[in-house]
Amino acid sequence: MGIEGTSHGHETVAKNPGNNSMQARSTIQRSILILVAALLAACASTAETRSPQTAFLANLKALCGQAFEGKVVSTDKADATMAKERLVMHVRDCSDEGVRVPFHVGDNRSRTWVITRTATGLRLKHDHRHEDGSEDKVTQYGGDTANEGTAQRQEFPVDAYSVAMFERENLKVSVTNIWAMEITPTRFAYELRRANRFFRVEFDTTRAIAAPPPPWGAAN
């Protein structure tokens, strides 16, 4: 009995290291699972706090410094002349506040799209200049986003400033304008629509071209 008791005691001692090792592995596994869950939660939280407007602006800024050629894809007769011209957009100036995108129509460098942040979303303005750099009498018109939109598309209904300017300049057909911009992995599009009017130009962002000259009014 003494031998059996001693043997049993040795068995107990032999088993303890294995139990401790299993417990240690289990603790490590639980710690890893907790860490992974925490990282996934952090990633999810970051994704949730990134608004569609922030993502849209980031997508646009990813094109900064590049220029692209485009074409009119709408069919309104009013755009027939522009459709014959070489159309170039240049994502020229990017900052924390927003992005400036000159839009050249042939040799005409009067147009720049200006997209900036607001307290509630994004704002689109049209900066129109003469060749000497002075502002056109119809300029700085546009609007603010009325909803979150998506990371690929944002819409800008006409704002009160623009309505007043359009009425003053006898452009009353424009007081219901809604502009839009779209970004996909292969395309940038600019759009204007209102009753009985639709204009859309698309640019192939898979093929960058040489940067055009500065827009009228730019320092360099």
The structural domain count of the chain equals 2
Asked if residue 41 and residue 100 are part of one domain, the reply reads no
3-state secondary structure of 102: strand
Q: Annotate 119-153 with three-state secondary structure.
A: CCCEEEEEEEECCCCCECCCCCEEEECCCCCCCCE
Q: How far, in Å, CA of 213 to CA of 28, rounded? A: 61
In a domain, 220, yes or no: no
Containing structural domain, residue 74: 53-204
Quote the pLDDT of residue 104: 98
Q: Where are the beta strands (DSSP E) in 54-96?
A: 67-72, 87-90, 93-94
pLDDT block averages, 10 residues each, the chain of length 220 = 41 53 65 54 48 96 98 96 98 95 98 96 98 97 97 98 98 98 98 97 98 92
Cα 150 from chain centroid? 9
3-state secondary structure of 133: coil
In a domain, 219, yes or no: no
Supply the CATH number for residue 148's domain.
2.40.128
Asked if residue 119 and residue 14 are part of one domain, the reply reads no
Quote the pLDDT of residue 116: 97
Asked if residue 92 and residue 125 are part of one domain, the reply reads yes
Q: How far, in Å, CA of 11 to CA of 22, rounded? A: 17
In a domain, 210, yes or no: no
pTM score of the predicted model: 0.78
For residue 93, list its beta bridge partners.
Answer: 100
Asked if residue 40 and residue 23 are part of one domain, the reply reads yes
Element (H, E) at 43: helix 2-49
Asked if residue 19 and residue 96 are part of one domain, the reply reads no
In a domain, 216, yes or no: no
Asked if residue 106 and residue 26 are part of one domain, the reply reads no
Asked if residue 71 and residue 43 are part of one domain, the reply reads no
Contact 147, 132 (CB under 8 A): no
